[in-house]
Amino acid sequence: MQLLDGVLVSAHIKEQIKQEVKEWQAGGGKQPHLAAVLVGNNPASEAYVGSKVKHCEELGFGSTLVRFDATITEAQLIKEVERLNNDDNVDGILVQLPLPGHISGDSVINAINPDKDVDGFHPISQGRMLLGQPSFLPATPYGIMLMLEYYKISTAGMHCVVIGRSNIVGTPMTILMSRNSDPGNATVTMCHSKTKNLKDFTLNADIIIAAIGRPKYVTADMVKPGAIIIDVGINRIDDATKKSGSRLVGDVDFDNVAPLCSYITPVPKGVGLMTICGLMKNTLLAAKLRTGKK
Ligand code: GUN
């Protein structure tokens, strides 16, 4: 079994990005700038956004964190997104999800200028991706493709089972894994919470991408020996042995699955770090495209 090491791969990609930003600015390019919008104070969202802003600093990007109380109305939030659309210094906009229940995430995402949609969530970005046109890829699926590329894992002809059908991970993952490209080019089955006899599918999978948001959902009896396991889950569970009283686990029962498979991503230090790489690459690309050079 080989660990797909998010620390190693993200460090390598971040170094490349840092270098590219330096060269871009040395040639007169503008400093890439990411605006992150955070509504309310969900602790997980706070941590994710904090990490994104910190990475901007590390890689030489500018950043703005725009915070709003959970009571902001949908109309007010859309106005704020439009303000960022019109701010020429801002290259990329991300609105951290989930949003409070009274705000439609779709309406807010639809308000983002697709040229600044560095999360790749806008219908235009997703449509372009579906058609195989150049687009901002959603950050997590993009990060997973970068991870496969780094380890030179060619999945052509493999059977890939994606568990989960969210707009931000499961659905785009099925598209990227089934494109006529490398990595990708797999035969893809999408499974989800209503799939009957999930094990019948997963036992036939050469690669499993688990993105269902349930702790240790994929167990050893569901995995074919030698399979590749990509774990997208970040679930907090109680653990009395930890000072904090809890710890993070993925959607895969790592301890029992790892000995069986050929490659596996750990949680933490796996896919989560790759998401940041996807986001930062998109933001740099947005800056370059917006200022007319590639
Ligand atoms: N919530 C969970 N994942 C993501 C992500 O990649 N981007 C944003 N904006 N919100 C998220």
Domain ranges of the chain: 28-114, 139-272
pLDDT digits (tens, 9 = 90+) for 242-268: 999 999 999 999 999 999 999 999 999
Residues noted as catalytic: 52, 96, 119
Mean pLDDT of the chain: 97
Mapped onto helix, strand or coil, the DSSP state of residue 61 is: coil
Name the residue with the closest Cα to ligand 1, atom 11: 97
CA 139 to ligand 1: nearest atom: 6
Task: Kindly report, residue by residue over 181-239, the tens digit of the pLDDT.
Answer: 999 999 999 999 999 999 999 999 999 999 999 999 999 999 999 999 999 999 999 99
**CA of residue 121 to ligand 1 center, whole Å:** 9
At the second CATH level, the architecture of 28-114 is 3-Layer(aba) Sandwich (3.40)
Q: Report the pocket of ligand 1 as residue ranges, CB < 6 Å.
A: 94-97, 119, 139-140, 168, 275
pLDDT in tens, 107-163: 999 999 999 999 999 999 999 999 999 999 999 999 999 999 999 999 999 999 999
Q: Which of 45, 96, 140, 171 to mutate for ligand 1's pocket (most ligand atoms within 8 Å of CB)?
A: 96
Question: To the nearest whole percent, how much of the chain has pLDDT over 90?
Answer: 99
Among the CATH numbers 3.40.50.720, 3.50.50.60, 3.40.718.10, 3.90.800.10, which is that of 139-272? 3.40.50.720
Sign of CA dihedral 224, 225, 231, 237: positive
Mean predicted confidence (pLDDT) in 30-52: 96
With pLDDT > 70 as the criterion, what percentage of the chain qualifies?
Answer: 99
Helix 139-150, helix 271-290: angle, nearest 10: 110
For the question of whether the overall pTM of this predicted structure is more than 0.85, the answer is yes
Tell me the torsion sign for CA atoms 69, 75, 78, 82.
negative
